[in-house]
Amino acid sequence: MFDSTSRYYRLAILAIQKADGTPVAYVSRRFLPAGSSLPLLADIQVDSSDRPDLIAYRTLGDPTVFWRIADANDVMDPVELVDEPGTTVRIPIPQP
Domain ranges of the chain: 1-31, 37-92
Model pTM score:
0.81
Write the pLDDT tens digit of every residue in 55-68.
Answer: 999 999 999 999 99
Q: What is the DSSP string of 3-29?
A: -TTSTTTTSPEEEEE-TTS-EEEEEPP
3-class DSSP assignment, residue 88: strand
Q: Which CATH superfamily is domain 37-92 in?
A: LysM domain (3.10.350.10)
**72 pLDDT tier (thresholds 50, 70, 90):** very high
**1 pLDDT tier (thresholds 50, 70, 90):** confident
Q: What average pLDDT is seen over the chain?
A: 94
3-class DSSP assignment, residue 84: coil
What is the predicted pLDDT for the residue at 95? 79
Write the pLDDT tens digit of every residue in 26-37.
Answer: 999 998 889 999
